[in-house]
Structure 1
Amino acid sequence: MSEARSALPGAEADGLVAIREMGLQGMVMLRGDLAEVAGAVREVTGADMPPTRGIVRGDGASVAWMSPDELLILCDHGAAEEFVVRLTEALAGRHHLAVNVSDARAMFALTGGRGALRDVLSKITPADMSADALKPGEMRRTRLQQVPAAIWFESETEARVICFRSVAAYVFDLLAMSARDSGPVGFHRDA
């Protein structure tokens, strides 16, 4: 078996915001009736059930609401398979699907001024990136030009983007192009 590698090891770009591929990231997709899986999620991750479009932290994992019957658990890459096993055991006899999707995804960190960060993302997604529409602690599934992605803000100056690994280079180039110093928009303010 080959050693795990992130989609774009060491990829970084600087401009209006800094962009960095985050390396190996554990991701577990959990599908099922969210009311029925809440106890198992809390037991395994230490996190409460996130609200609609929310992302919450637990013990060594974050849990993101992805749809009315889907959660994404973010954890250490090496722990993802253990999370799948523990969830499967905790949900035995209940209809669910727990899958390690770590190696099928890529994740990017974007850091910069509040306005610049939201401007860079606004140029490439139809989703409303205003501070009122997407607050820290909320996740938004959307498109980045031609591909699906998920975006959330860790803080007003730091965002995360998840995409499929197969389009990681496209998304990185798209983010880097949108963040070029020559392309400030000034729509979202840093205030």
Structure 2
Amino acid sequence: MSNAVSALQGVSSAGYVQVQEIGLQGMLTLRADLSLAKVAKAVKAAVGVQMPGQRAINMENGQGAAWMSPDELLLLMPHRDAEATADKLRKALGKTHSLVVNVSDARVVFTLTGTGAREVVAKLAPVDMQALAVGEIRRSRLAQVPAAFWISGPDEITIVAFRSVATYVFDLLKNAARLGGEVNAY
């Protein structure tokens, strides 16, 4: 078995906002009827958080659940726990119509840190970043590629994208963070 490595092996760039690839992150896609009590109970048992509401993310102790669509969650946990968590979730769901897929190695995760983090994303995504509250997640695009992002701490945004476009996304973020200035600064 080979050793897992992150897409960009922790690359970072310092501008007026720090851009950092966080390394390996465990991620599962869960497709199911999110209104079922059995699904909510299985999610709680798997990652320790309550079922998120629409466009919300619940994170606690490095684990969480993010609402991605009416029948889809993105579950986050340490990379080393992804397969065991997937097995636990499948067992808990039993014959409930559902799909659990480990997508850890198909994704890349970045953090933006600094007071201008919202402006960096606003340069690239058609989202009102000033209206995005802590605990909300958005699925959108950065330039021309799909991404999801949320406010993950004071002056910090976490971004998830496909691993296949990791270098492109890093370069977009790095360039937007290097240029400085607010979006509306004409």
1:105–1:162: 8 Å Cα contact kept in structure 2? yes
Partner residue in 1 for 2:164:
166
Q: In structure 1, what residue type is equivalent to 2:123? A: K
The 1-side partners of 2:98 and 2:61 are apart by 22
Q: CA deviation at 1:117?
A: 1.2
Q: In structure 1, what residue type is equivalent to 2:182? A: V
TM-score by length of 2: 0.94
**1:145-176 Cα deviation digits (max 9, x unpaired):** 01000010012401100000000000000000
1:45–1:60: 8 Å Cα contact kept in structure 2? no
The 1-side partners of 2:114 and 2:60 are apart by 26
Answer yes or no: is 1:87 the counterpart of 2:96. Answer: no
Partner residue in 2 for 1:57:
59
The 1-side partners of 2:79 and 2:177 are apart by 28
1:13–1:20: 8 Å Cα contact kept in structure 2? yes
Partner residue in 2 for 1:122:
122
The 2-side partners of 1:60 and 1:68 are apart by 24
The 1-side partners of 2:126 and 2:12 are apart by 24
Q: In structure 1, what residue type is equivalent to 2:167? A: A
Secondary structure of 1:162's match? strand
Percentage identity across paired residues of the two chains? 51
**Which 5+ residue runs of structure 1 have no aligned equivalent?**
none
Q: In structure 2, what residue type is equivalent to 1:82? A: A
TM-score by length of 1: 0.92
Tell me the number of residue pairs that the alignment of Structure 1 and Structure 2 aligns: 183
**1:36-92 Cα deviation digits (max 9, x unpaired):** 211111122221111111111246511111110000111000000011100100001
Runs of 4+ with >4 A deviation: none
How large is the RMSD of aligned CA atoms in angstroms? Answer: 1.4
Partner residue in 1 for 2:5:
5
Partner residue in 2 for 1:111:
113
**1:110-153 Cα deviation digits (max 9, x unpaired):** 1001xx111111111111111xx211111000000010000100
